Structure 1
Amino acid sequence: MAGVKKKFAVGSLWFFLGQGVSNIASFIIFAILARLLGPVDFGIVAFASVFIELSRSVALAGLPTALIKDKVWDEDAASTAFWGNIGFSIVLALAVGGGLGYALTGTYGENLDVILAALSVSLVIDAMRATHEAKLQRDFQFKNLAKRTALATTGAGIIGVLLAFAGFGVWALVINRIANSVIQTIIIWQATPWRPRWTFHRDKFVAMFKFGIHLGASAVFGQINRRVPELLAGLIISPVAVGFYKVGGRMVNILFDLTITPMQRTAIAGFSRLEGEEALVRGYRGVTRAVSLVAFPAFYGMAALGRDLVILLFGERWAESGVIMSALALFGGAAAVSYFVQPLLAAAGKTHLASMRSLLTLLSNIIVCLCTAPFGTVVLAIGFAARAYVGVIPTLTLLKKAVGLPPSRVLADVFPTFFAAVIMGLTVYGLRYYVLQDHDRLLSLAMLVPLGAVIYAAVLALFFRKYMRVVWQDLEPLAGPALAKLKGRRPAA
C-alpha cells in the first residue's frame, strides 16, 4: 500500500510539473493568438474540435485502459490493442472528416468541411501512441509523459503563433492542433522501446473490448458532457458564441490541469494496484481530500476575479468571456468530488456503473443546456455549473452502492476546504466590486490574490486543525522526502 501510494504521489507530481510547464506555454500562446485572431476563427475551430474530441474517445474504445489495469503486460494483447485503435481511428477520420463535414458545411460555414477533414488526421496520429502511453502509465513513467506534454505544447504553439503573424488566420489554429499530435506521438515512441507486432488476436481483442466498451462509452459520454455547452452554443446560437465560450473556459481548463488532472490521470494506475474494496475507499478519500485542498480555493478565487482576468489578458473585446469564466470556475468545486469516481469504478471492475453514471450525467447536461442556450452563453455557463452541483447527489449514492462509501464521509472529507474557500471567495469578490471598484485591474489582482490565500489558510488553521493533520498524512509520501532532503542539506549549527 505504501509503495503504491508513493508511486501515485510521485507520478502525480511529474504530471503536475509537465502540465505546469505546458500550461504556462499554452497560456502565453493562447493569449497571443486571442489578440491576433478573432471570435470567428476561434469559434469555428472550437466547434469542429468538439466532433474530433468525441471521435477520439470512440477510437480508443477503452483498450489502453484495459492494458493499464492488467497486472502483467501482455505483448500480444498490446499489439492487438494498437491495431484495433488504428482501425477505429481510420474509420472515424473518414466519417467525421468526410460525411459529417459535408453535412454541416451548408449551415455553419463553407470552410467547416475542410477544417474537419484536416483535424480528423489527428485521430489516426493520436491512436498511434495510445498503447505506448498505456505502457508508460502502468509503469508509472510519468516523467516521460510530462516531457511529452510540455514539448508538444511549446513546439506546436510556436508554429501556430508564427502562422498567425504570417496571416494564415483560422489555419494557424488548425495546424497548431495537428502539430501538437505529431510532436506528442514522436516523443512517446522515442520514450518507450515497445513496438507493436504484426499480429492481431481476436480472442484478446474481444476480452479487452468487453472490458473497455463500458469505459469507452463512459469516456464518450464524459466528452459529450464537457462539450455539450460548446456544441449547443454552436448549433443554437452561432460558432462565434463558441469562441467566447472557449476563451472563457480556457483558464478554467488550465486550472483543472494544475489541480485535478494530474491525480486523475494517475488514479487508474494507482487504484488498480490496491487490493480490496477497503483499500480502494481509503485511496479515493485520500485523493479527494488532497485535491479539494487546492481545487476549492483556486476555482472559487477565479470565479471571484474572472472578468478582470479575461480583460487584462485577452483584451476588452473578450469581456463577455470573463463572466463565462466566473460561472464555469464554480464547476471546479463539484469536480473535486466527482472526477475520481470513474477511476475508482474501473479499478473495482465495475465499469458498467461508470458508463451508466456518465450516461445519466450526459442526459441531464443536455436537458439543462437545451433550456439555457437560447438565453445566451452566460446563462448556458451558469446552468452547466449548477447542474454539476446537483449531480453530486447521485454520485454520492453511486459510491455507496458500488464500494460501500457513505455520502456523509465524502462530504466530511471536503467540507472544511469548501467552507474556507467560500469565505475566501465571497470576501475577495466583495472587496473587488464594493471597495476597489475604481482601482486598476492589475493592482487589484496583485492585492487580492495573496490576500485570498491568507484568508483561506487562516480559516483552515482556526477551525479545522485536526482535518489538516489528516490531509498531511495523505500528502506526506510526496512532501516528506522533499522536506527530508531540504533538512539534510541545511548546514549544521
Structure 2
Amino acid sequence: MEDSNSLKSKTITGLLWSFADLLANHGIQFIIQIILARLLLPQHFGIIGLVLVFIVISNSIVDSGFSQALIRDQNTSQVDYSTVFYFNLLVAFVMYGVLFNFSNAISVFFGEPQLTEIIRIISLVLIINSLGIIQKVILIKNIDFRTITKISIVAATISGGITITLAILGYGVWSLVINILAMQFVQMLLMWIFNKWIPSITFSLQSFKKFFVFGYKLLLSGLIDTFYNNILFLIIGKFYSSTQLGFYTNAVKFRDLATLSITASVQRVSYPILSSIQEDEQRLKSAFKMLIKTSAFINFPLMIGLVVIANPLFNLLLGEKWIPSVIYFQLLCLAGMLFPLHAINLNILQVKGRSDLFLLLEIIKKTVLTLLIAVSLLCGLGIVGLIGATVINSYISLFINAYYSSREIDYSAKEQLRDLMPVFLITLFMGVIVSVSGLIITENHFIKLIFQICIGLVVYVTVSKLAKVQELWIVYRLISSIFTKLKVKKI
C-alpha cells in the first residue's frame, strides 16, 4: 500500500493535471463560446441545447455505470476491459437507432422542424464516444491526466477552429453540430494513439455480471440525475421560444465552464485515489476532509464572485443581446457553489460500493426537485422560478448527501457543515464588498470588471489569512508546485 506522502503527491499531481486539463479545455471552449455568441443567434444555442439533452441521456445508457465500476475495481483484466468495450459499442449502435427513428416525433413534439436532421447527424457522437470509453478509463485509473490534458487541448483547438469557420460562413446551428462531432472524434482518435490498449476478441459473461451488479444501480441513478439536470431544457423548449431557451443554454454553459473545471477535476481524481485507500478508514476520512474543504475554498468565492460581476461580464464579452441571460446565470451560480461537494460526497458512496444507496439518494433528491418544479409551474413563476427551484434543491441535496456519506465514514454531516462555515462566511463578506465596490465605477464595463475582481481577490485572501484558514496554504502550495514544475521544464 502506498504511504501517506506518496498518496498525497499523487493526489496533488493528479489534481494539478486534471484541473489544467479542464481549465485549458474549458478556457479554449470559453473563447470559442464568446466568438460564437457574437456570430450566432440565441435560438441556435437553444436548438442545440435541446438536442444535447437526448445525447447526454443516451451517453449515460451507453456507459451504463461500467466506467465507474472499472475504475473502482483493483484487479481489472484484459478480458474485463474487452467485455465492457464490446457492450458499450453494442448499446451505442442501439441508442443511435432509437434516436434516429424517434427524431421526427421529437421534432413534432417541440415544434422545431430542424430537430429531425440534427438529431440524426449528431447522434453519431454516441458511437464515437463508445470507442474511447475504455481508453479514458485506463488513463484515469493510472491517474494519467497529463495525457488527457494534451488530448483535450488539441481536440478543443481543432474543433473550435472548424466551428468558428463554419459560423462565419453562415452555417448557423450546423456549425454547433459539427463542433460536437469534431471534438469527440478527435478526442477518441487521440485516445487510441496515446493509449496503446487494444480489445481482445472475447466477451465474458462472468466479467459482465461482475460489473453489471455494481454498474446498473449507477446507471439508474445516473439516468435520473442526467434527466433532472436537463429537465429545464425540455420544459423551456416546450413552453417557451427557442430564443429564451438559447439564453438559458448559454447561461448554463458559462456557469459550467467555471464550476465544472473544479467539480470534474476533483471528482475524477478523488474517485481513483479514494478507491485505492478504501480499506483504511483513517486515511479515507483525512483525504475526504481535505478534498471537501479545499474544493469549497476555491469554488465558493468563484461562484459568488461571478454572481456579483455577471452584468459587466456579459456586457463586455457577449454584448447587449445576451443580457437576458444574466439573471439565469446568477441563479445557476448559486446552485453551482455546491457542485464539487455533491461530487465528493457521492464518490464516497461509490468507493464504499454503496451503489444501492447512491440510487436511493437520487430518487429522494429528484422527488424533492419534482415538487419544487411543480410549485414553480403552478404559481406561474416563469423561467426564473424554475431555475430558483433547482437552486433550492441543490442546497437541500447537500444536506441529504452529507448525511448519508457520513454513515459510511467517521465524518458526520454536522462536522462537515461546520468545517465549511468559515469559508462560506468569508465568501459572503467578500461578495458584499465586491458588490458595493461596483457602485464606484458605473460606465466602463472593462475597468469595472478588473476593479471588482482585484477587490474580491484581495479581500478574500486577506480575510482568509487573518482567519488562519488552512486551505489558503494548501492552495498556495498547489500554485507553487505548478510554477516550480514550469521552472524546472524551462531549465
TM-score tier after normalising by the smaller chain length = over 0.9
Does residue 1:20 correspond to 2:26, yes or no?
no
Deviation at 1:443, TM superposition (A): 1.1
1:126-137 to 2 correspondences below 5 Å = 126-137=129-140
Secondary structure of 1:260's counterpart equals helix
Change (3 A) 1:485 1:315: closer
Q: 2:123 & 2:300 partners in 1: Cα distance?
A: 36
1:403-414 to 2 correspondences below 5 Å = 403-414=409-420
Equivalent residue for 2:333, pick from 329, 336, 344 = 329
Does residue 1:252 correspond to 2:258, yes or no?
no
Change (3 A) 1:487 1:83: closer
Alpha-carbon contact 1:222-1:362 (below 8 Å) kept: yes
Does residue 1:188 correspond to 2:208, yes or no?
no
Aligned residues: 484
Who is 2:86 aligned against? 83
Change (3 A) 1:260 1:191: same
1:162-181 to 2 correspondences below 5 Å = 162-181=165-184
Who is 2:37 aligned against? 34
Paired amino acid for 1:340: I
**Range with bigger deviation, 400-409 or 117-126:** 400-409
Does residue 1:428 correspond to 2:434, yes or no?
yes
Deviation at 1:419, TM superposition (A): 0.9
Who is 1:446 aligned against? 450
Alpha-carbon contact 2:217-2:359 (below 8 Å) kept: yes
Equivalent residue for 2:281, pick from 274, 277, 280 = 277
Alpha-carbon contact 2:312-2:448 (below 8 Å) kept: no
Equivalent residue for 1:458, pick from 436, 459, 462 = 462
Q: 1:336 & 1:185 partners in 2: Cα distance?
A: 26
1:9-158 to 2 correspondences below 5 Å = 9-158=12-161
RMSD: 2.2
Deviation at 1:91, TM superposition (A): 0.9
Deviation at 1:102, TM superposition (A): 2.8
Gaps of 5+ in 1: none
Identity among equivalent pairs (%): 25
Change (3 A) 1:101 1:413: farther
Equivalent residue for 1:338, pick from 330, 337, 342 = 342
Alpha-carbon contact 2:36-2:167 (below 8 Å) kept: yes
Secondary structure of 2:171's counterpart equals coil
1:233-244 to 2 correspondences below 5 Å = 233-244=236-247
Does residue 1:386 correspond to 2:392, yes or no?
yes
Change (3 A) 1:246 1:396: same
Deviation at 1:233, TM superposition (A): 1.5
Does residue 1:291 correspond to 2:291, yes or no?
no
Structure 1 runs of 4+ off > 4 angstroms? 473-476, 478-489
Q: 1:144 & 1:81 partners in 2: Cα distance?
A: 22
Q: 1:393 & 1:325 partners in 2: Cα distance?
A: 24
Who is 1:310 aligned against? 314
**Range with bigger deviation, 168-177 or 383-392:** 383-392
Who is 1:419 aligned against? 425
Deviation at 1:21, TM superposition (A): 1.6
Q: 2:488 & 2:148 partners in 1: Cα distance?
A: 30
Alpha-carbon contact 1:61-1:213 (below 8 Å) kept: yes
**Range with bigger deviation, 39-48 or 231-240:** 231-240
Who is 1:399 aligned against? 405
Deviation at 1:248, TM superposition (A): 1.2
**Range with bigger deviation, 64-73 or 83-92:** 64-73
Change (3 A) 1:475 1:83: farther
Gaps of 5+ in 2: none
Q: 1:485 & 1:134 partners in 2: Cα distance?
A: 26
Deviation at 1:471, TM superposition (A): 6.1
Alpha-carbon contact 1:8-1:266 (below 8 Å) kept: yes
Change (3 A) 1:483 1:20: closer
Q: 2:110 & 2:456 partners in 1: Cα distance?
A: 46
Q: 1:12 & 1:221 partners in 2: Cα distance?
A: 28
